[in-house]
């Protein structure tokens, strides 16, 4: 019952945040009477979203679309908020973790599917308590900051709990829902004992005295497995294929730019994380930080979520349930 209360509370907070963030924003991906089109894309925080920042700065959707298009870029704090925005008809393309994309497609009837992979990034469970060496050392009152219930970080924690503790839900009640930047602040000031987060926050935290990693995640989600994917509304996919294909081409171009010229990418993107280009380049060079259009591990996560009760009354049978035709990989 306690777990249900946490989930409901997070849902209420998320809905309020969504309304405040998206107020006044509309989306019409179909052609308008004057021949122009509008497109709304939503992302979250961190290096995983670098391709979308490249798209915005280089105007790659406009470059790949044969027509006039106005592209609106928005930021929300969780995949759950993005799912709510899709249901409200406010978004055409969203970037989110694999887990909420699976939940939206299979469990909530959100009108979208995955259209491409975006990135894999390092995920680490960080702590300010030197006595916490493993998940077994986390006490009942020790809070773990992560984005929210049902986020990919929550599912990765559950996968690690299943492996190490024998119960996927063993630490559900330890979760304190916070956006990545807020979670890092809470970890550094001691408000929480742990944070399960990703780049660049893991890099920033590792550089701080008194912060260490709890070995937990890599064994259940190896480097290179998908983290952030892009989902596109069924309206965009079915009714404006030219714009849909322009979005896919733009992501391909942006990912190629980052991979082919990481120095230039670092120069372009470093200000977003308030660091110099050399530091950002070092982060990009981390073996676990990669950008690709190819999905990896998505079926594994969907099956785990089905088996461990993260999806209600839904059976995952095939990757085609959650991805559009032509999406690379599994």
Instruction: Give the pLDDT score at 33.
Output: 47
Determine contact, residues 165/135, Cβ cutoff 8 Å: yes
Mean pLDDT (the chain, rounded): 89
CATH fold match for the domains 2-121+225-321 and 123-214: yes
Q: Name the band, by pLDDT with cuts 50, 70 and 90, for residue 34.
A: low
Answer whether residue 201 shows pLDDT above 50: yes
DSSP string, 232-289: EEHHHHHH-HHHHHHHHHHHHHHHHHHHH-HHHHHHHHGGGGTS-HHHHHHHHTSTT-
Domain 123-214 CATH (choose: 3.40.430.10, 3.40.630.10, 3.40.190.10, 1.10.287.1080): 3.40.190.10
Instruction: Give the pLDDT score at 79.
Output: 81
Q: What is the mean pLDDT of residues 201-214?
A: 95
Instruction: Give the pLDDT score at 253.
Output: 98
Going by the DSSP 8-state scheme, the letter that residue 69 receives in this structure is E
Long-range contacts of 57-62 (CB under 8 A, 24+ apart): 57/268, 58/253, 58/254, 58/257, 60/249, 60/250, 60/253, 60/254, 61/246, 61/247, 61/250
Apex CA 85: angle with CA 80 and CA 88, to 5°? 130
For 126-172, what is each residue's pLDDT tens digit?
Answer: 999 999 999 999 999 999 999 889 999 999 999 999 999 999 999 99
Instruction: Give the pLDDT score at 116.
Output: 98
Which top CATH class is 2-121+225-321? alpha beta
The pTM is what? 0.85
Instruction: Give the pLDDT score at 77.
Output: 78
Answer whether residue 230 shows pLDDT above 80: yes
Q: Where are the domains of the chain?
A: 2-121+225-321, 123-214
| Lookup: tokens for 68 | 């006039």
Q: What is the mean pLDDT of residues 21-38?
A: 55
| Lookup: tokens for 305 | 């979520």
Q: What is the mean pLDDT of residues 176-183?
A: 93
Answer whether residue 189 shows pLDDT above 50: yes
% residues pLDDT > 90 (the chain): 79
Strand partners, 145: 176, 195
Strand partners, 175: 144
């Amino acid at each position: 019952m306690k777990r249900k209360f946490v989930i409901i509370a997070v849902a209420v907070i998320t809905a309020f945040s969504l309304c405040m963030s998206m107020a006044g924003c509309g989306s019409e991906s179909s052609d308008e009477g004057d021949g122009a089109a509008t497109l709304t894309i939503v992302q979250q925080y961190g290096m995983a979203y670098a391709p979308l920042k490249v798209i915005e700065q280089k105007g790659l959707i406009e470059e790949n679309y044969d027509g006039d298009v106005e592209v609106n870029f928005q930021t929300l704090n969780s995949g759950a908020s993005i799912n709510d925005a899709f249901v409200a008809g406010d978004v055409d393309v969203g970037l989110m973790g694999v887990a909420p994309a699976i939940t939206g497609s299979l469990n909530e009837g959100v009108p979208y599917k995955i259209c491409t992979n975006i990135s894999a990034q390092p995920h680490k469970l960080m702590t300010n308590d030197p006595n916490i060496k493993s998940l077994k050392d986390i006490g009942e009152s020790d809070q773990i900051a992560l984005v929210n219930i049902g986020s990919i970080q929550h599912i990765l924690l559950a996968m690690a709990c299943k492996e190490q503790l024998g119960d996927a839900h063993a630490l559900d009640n330890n979760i304190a829902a916070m956006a990545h930047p807020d979670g890092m602040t809470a970890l550094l000031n001691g408000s929480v004992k742990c944070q399960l987060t990703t780049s660049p926050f893991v890099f920033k935290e590792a550089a701080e005295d008194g912060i260490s990693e709890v070995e937990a995640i890599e064994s259940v989600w190896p480097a290179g497995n998908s983290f952030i994917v892009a989902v596109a509304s069924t309206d965009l996919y079915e009714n404006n294929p030219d714009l849909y294909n322009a979005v896919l081409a733009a992501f391909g171009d942006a990912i190629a730019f980052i991979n082919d010229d990481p120095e230039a990418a670092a120069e372009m993107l470093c200000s977003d994380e308030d660091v110099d280009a050399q530091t950002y380049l070092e982060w990009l060079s981390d073996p676990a930080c990669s950008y690709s259009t190819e999905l990896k591990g998505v079926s594994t996560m969907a099956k785990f979520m089905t088996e461990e009760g993260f999806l209600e009354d839904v059976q995952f049978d095939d990757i085609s349930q959650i991805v559009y035709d032509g999406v690379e990989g599994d």
